[in-house]
Structure 1
Amino acid sequence: MSRRPGDLAVFLLVAFGLSWLFAVPLWLSGGSGLVTVTGLAMMFTPAIAVLTVWRLRHREVPFREWAGRTGLTFGGRPGRAWKYIAVAWAGTVLLTLLATAISVATGLLSVDLAGLSLFRAQIASLGRGASLPLDPHTLAVIQLAQGLIMGPVVNAIPALGEEYGWRGWLLPRLMPLGATKALVASGVIWGLWHAPLTLRGYNYPQLGAWAAVMFVGFCVLFGIFLGRLRLASGSVWPAVAGHGVLNALAGLPLLLGDAAHPPNLAVAGVTGLVGWALLAVVAAFVLRTGRPPARPTPVQGEPTGPAVQG
């Protein structure tokens, strides 16, 4: 009996191992100055893991064929893929704006549109207040416009670094579990992979290390939305678009917030409980109405598994 690790084991070892390796300087420094650099480096580890599986386990498969089976192409139907890219783009924008609006309407998020005091405080904390080329209001408008219009484009490469692993390779690999279980399991894995950052309170500073648990829940719910688009389109690019928009707009509460009453990000915004409620409705809808797609043709040497069930 072969004792070689299977495809899934190789993938998880590389993706998780590299993420923790890249986070070592952040943990040793004890500060937060390396969070952005660490997070950006981590985003490429799932893609590296997919390529490692290919080179170690399926080297005989031409890369062009591997790319098609792992969602790097448009699934043989470019028009259909572009339609789902538009759905991911517009849908994520809508969810983010709606979560912010509901947070404001319910009093869970205090905004300071006139002064942008929280945004100004963040700029000042970076030590760049005296050298700003533009007024904070202008910067905020530019940032918002970039998130709405250019989010998927600007963030495409780092978002692909993650999505090629989670939705491109991992989700189809888990489909023998059944579509619903595969979507949930891939979301849990995605959330746990963020632990080098979230254990330090990333995304939910009020929670400390409990942020790691909180973010898993968000990843499951948002991952169901992205995963369904990947399975329906046969391509990873809709998930890349949605992920790119999320990264561009998820910080809206920090952009619009009031420094005198800072937002509790565990509650307000798309990544907080308000966003959870919206995403839960979307997840229930797509799980109930989405027709389970056929499992992609396995790469040579992969187990075929049982038929897919919803």
Structure 2
Amino acid sequence: MTTAIDRRKVALFLALAFGISWTGAVGLFVSGIELQSMLGTVLVVVVFMWAPAIAAIAVQRYSGKSVRTGCGLARGRLRWIALSWLAPVGFLAVTIGVGLALPTVSFTTEYAVFLADLGLSPDEIDESIAVLEALPVPPIVLFVGQGLLAGLTINALAALGEELGWRGLLLAELAPLGFWRLSAVTGVVWGIWHAPIILQGHNFPEAPIAGIVVMTLWTVAASPVFTYLTVRARSVLAATFFHGTFNAVASLSLLYLTGAGTLLIAPVGVAGIGAAVLATAVCVAHDRSVAADRITTGTPLSPWGSGD
């Protein structure tokens, strides 16, 4: 385990990751492609979300190092990877709970309003509502089931593009900083990296400038959870499945909460920040009361070879 950070390597990785992503975002803006469209979604995944992975692979190859060992691309500890895949369901529940504690926010099952916000026509909304009403289980069961499936498949593939960089190469290279400083630095970088697509309406279409700030607060608050799961699992796959399922499931807070804008009730809004803080507290409680060894300290981490 090294105790010094290769600043040149980190700088090269960040320059490539930001350069590719932000150039792609500018290209999307100039082309006039809507991020919410099918084409826009595909391009965001390929050009923007996969830039950190491309940068990590390029830097590892340039350094003559293995991508698999250097970025934690291993099977790791399966029970922690499974937990990471399922954890966003609890994250959703806590986000809704925190959201309900906010002024003017209330719980709703007005699916028609949500479907209308997605751009469906009245006929499509009626058809969708009929399908939901015919289900033998509450709709939330279907939504969560679909989210878990997506978190293991297509969403995981998209999330790997980010995580191979953030919780792969960057986590390994910043490991000498220790758990908290590493998580804080990664959280800030991760949040600012989102800026170009947030300015184009991603996540916070009604308040893009404030959205960058709120998004960065969320990434800083959530980063310790990602770090903890990754180190305990000894694999970047933990962060990948957590991220993939989170993207599919946590957004349901926008379906079940009403009375406020996305800055408050989005999974990466104020409600999500509260949930992330509580999730971090759970990680710390496990680390200090259950785990055989502690990692939430200021000592250097050994991300691919420690954790209970």
Q: Given the two structures, how large is their TM-score scaled by the length of structure 2?
A: 0.79
Q: 1:228 to 1:37 in 2, by over 3 A?
A: same
Tell me the equivalent position of 1:100: 96
CA contact (8 A) 2:99 2:257 kept: no
- The one-letter code matched in structure 2 to 1:47 is A
Q: Among 33, 43, 48, which residue is 2:54 paired with?
A: 48
Q: 1:136 to 1:70 in 2, by over 3 A?
A: same
In structure 1, the gaps of 5 or more residues are: 76-80, 298-307
Q: C-alpha displacement at 1:85, in angstroms?
A: 1.4
CA contact (8 A) 1:203 1:265 kept: yes
Query: Which secondary structure state, in structure 2, belongs to the residue aligned with residue 180 of structure 1?
Result: helix
Q: C-alpha displacement at 1:98, in angstroms?
A: 2.4
In structure 2, the gaps of 5 or more residues are: 1-6, 133-138, 288-293
- The one-letter code matched in structure 1 to 2:54 is I
Tell me the equivalent position of 2:205: 205
Q: Supply the distance in 2 between the matched residues of 1:183 and 1:244 (Cα, whole angstroms).
A: 19
Q: C-alpha displacement at 1:19, in angstroms?
A: 0.6
Report % sequence identity: 32
Q: Supply the distance in 2 between the matched residues of 1:249 and 1:189 (Cα, whole angstroms).
A: 24
Q: C-alpha displacement at 1:183, in angstroms?
A: 1.2
Tell me the equivalent position of 1:120: 115
1:67 matched to 2:63: no
Matches within 5 A, 1:1-310: 6-29=8-31, 32-33=34-35, 35-41=40-46, 42-58=48-64, 61=65, 63=66, 66-75=67-76, 81-104=77-100, 108-113=104-109, 115-123=110-118, 125=119, 130=123, 134-136=127-129, 138=131, 142-256=142-256, 261=259, 263-287=260-284, 290=287, 291-292=294-295, 294-295=301-302
Q: Supply the distance in 2 between the matched residues of 1:161 and 1:229 (Cα, whole angstroms).
A: 18
Q: Supply the distance in 2 between the matched residues of 1:136 and 1:239 (Cα, whole angstroms).
A: 34
Residue deviations 1:166-194, cap 9 Å, x none? 00110121111222101111111111111
Tell me the equivalent position of 1:303: none
CA contact (8 A) 2:155 2:247 kept: yes
Q: Supply the distance in 1 between the matched residues of 2:153 and 2:104 (Cα, whole angstroms).
A: 31
Q: C-alpha displacement at 1:269, in angstroms?
A: 4.3
Q: Supply the distance in 2 between the matched residues of 1:154 and 1:253 (Cα, whole angstroms).
A: 21
Q: 1:215 to 1:105 in 2, by over 3 A?
A: closer
Q: 1:269 to 1:7 in 2, by over 3 A?
A: same
Q: C-alpha displacement at 1:134, in angstroms?
A: 4.5
Q: Supply the distance in 2 between the matched residues of 1:217 and 1:17 (Cα, whole angstroms).
A: 23
CA contact (8 A) 2:178 2:301 kept: no
Q: C-alpha displacement at 1:202, in angstroms?
A: 2.4
- The one-letter code matched in structure 1 to 2:34 is S
Query: Which secondary structure state, in structure 2, belongs to the residue aligned with residue 266 of structure 1?
Result: helix
CA contact (8 A) 1:192 1:216 kept: yes
Q: Supply the distance in 1 between the matched residues of 2:126 and 2:108 (Cα, whole angstroms).
A: 22
Q: Supply the distance in 2 between the matched residues of 1:211 and 1:38 (Cα, whole angstroms).
A: 21
Q: C-alpha displacement at 1:137, in angstroms?
A: 5.9
Q: C-alpha displacement at 1:145, in angstroms?
A: 2.6
Q: What is the number of equivalent residue pairs in this alignment? A: 279
Q: C-alpha displacement at 1:288, in angstroms?
A: 6.3
